[in-house]
Amino acid sequence: MTANVWCYEQVCLVQPFNLAQNLMAKLTYTTCYVPFFIHKLNLKTNNMASVTYKNQPAIDKTKGSVPLAGTSHIYRVKKKLWNDSIEDVLQGLFIGRTLHVCCGKSLLGDVRLDADAENNPDIICDASKMQDFVKDNEFETVICDPPYNGNFQWNHDLLAELSRVASKRIIFQHWFIPANPTGTYKKAQEKFLLSDVLVWQPKTYFGRVQVISVFDAVS
């Protein structure tokens, strides 16, 4: 396998070539000699999951286009968006008691939290406002795949809440990595450091790559 690597501003990208179609790629975080990110690509043999926007009505409303400022469509899911292969990988990352924030239809986690009562979560609340429901450092691991159409302030508040309730590890899936150029977690720079990044792509023809970033507590 070969890769092209280039840096632009404060982002370092790796473009892999000749990847097998149904593989999950694992990105191991290292630091460059300049304050940019670089990731070394290793392969894992996990099948990709199928994701279509029809199971994410709020995203389908805008035909997959989500403005950075978010949208007013309430985000709900109609089915579990991770298949068993992806969930097996994620569960292998759990340390101790785990809170699943924005759980949707997934049953991962010891305690599940979601704003949508139809998902039958253990805790029903806004993920950006968990103060009345979850104590500081109550869970060793917190995993979150949040709505991708949240507005700026909601995203900021969510990231802060994840670092408040997690004591050892944050597992976060989105289109971005919530890390500073040094690898520290944006909302808790002295508490969490980026330790691993995994990416997977749905089987849909132009499916967006999903980025799973793992942050561990600074010892």
What pLDDT is stored for residue 207 in this prediction? Answer: 72
Considering only residues 10 and 180, tell me which one the structure prediction assigns the higher pLDDT. Answer: 180
What pLDDT is stored for residue 80 in this prediction? Answer: 82
Range of lowest pLDDT (23-37, 97-111, 175-189): 23-37
Dist CA 212 CA 169 (whole Å) = 13
What pLDDT is stored for residue 33 in this prediction? Answer: 27
Please give the CATH number for the structural domain made up of 3-217: 3.40.50
What pLDDT is stored for residue 124 in this prediction? Answer: 98
Asked if 200 and 49 touch (Cβ cutoff 8 Å), the reply is yes
What pLDDT is stored for residue 138 in this prediction? Answer: 98
What pLDDT is stored for residue 149 in this prediction? Answer: 76
Say yes or no to pLDDT of 177 above 80.
Answer: yes
Considering only residues 147 and 9, tell me which one the structure prediction assigns the higher pLDDT. Answer: 147
CA-nearest of 95, 183, 177 to 141 is 95
Q: Residues 5-10: contacts with CB within 8 Å, 24+ apart?
A: 5/38, 7/32, 7/34, 7/36, 7/38, 10/35, 10/36, 10/37, 10/181
Quote the percentage of the chain above a pLDDT of 90. Answer: 53
Quote the percentage of the chain above a pLDDT of 70. Answer: 64
Indicate the burial class of 203 (C-beta count within 10 angstroms; 0-12, 13-18, 19 or more).
middle
Dist CA 137 CA 162 (whole Å) = 9
Q: Region 161-179: what's the mean pLDDT?
A: 97
- Count Cβ atoms below 10 Å from residue 85 Cβ, excluding itself: 17
What contacts 197, CB < 8 A, 6 or more positions away? 26, 27, 28, 29, 39, 177, 211, 212, 213, 214
Convert the pLDDT of each residue in 81-107 to its tens digit: 788 999 999 999 999 999 999 999 999
Mean pLDDT of the chain: 75
What pLDDT is stored for residue 61 in this prediction? Answer: 52
- Confidence class for position 2, pLDDT limits 50, 70, 90: very low
Range of lowest pLDDT (111-125, 129-143, 195-209): 195-209
Task: Write a three-state SS string for the chain.
Answer: CCEEEEEECCEEEEEECCCCCCCEEEEEEEECCCCCEEEEEEEECCCCCCCCHHHCHHHHCCCCCCCCCCCCCCCCCCCCCCCHHHHHHHHCCCCCCEEEECCCCCCCCCEEEECCHHHCCCEECCCCCCCCCCCCCCEEEEEECCCCCCCHHHHHHHHHHHHHHEEEEEEEEECCCCECCCCEECCEEEEEEEEEEEEECCCCCCCCCEEEEEEEECC
What pLDDT is stored for residue 26 in this prediction? Answer: 54
Say yes or no to pLDDT of 22 above 60.
Answer: no
Say yes or no to pLDDT of 166 above 60.
Answer: yes
- Confidence class for position 150, pLDDT limits 50, 70, 90: confident
What pLDDT is stored for residue 78 in this prediction? Answer: 72
Give the alpha-carbon dihedral of 9, 200, 161, 121, to 10 degrees: 160
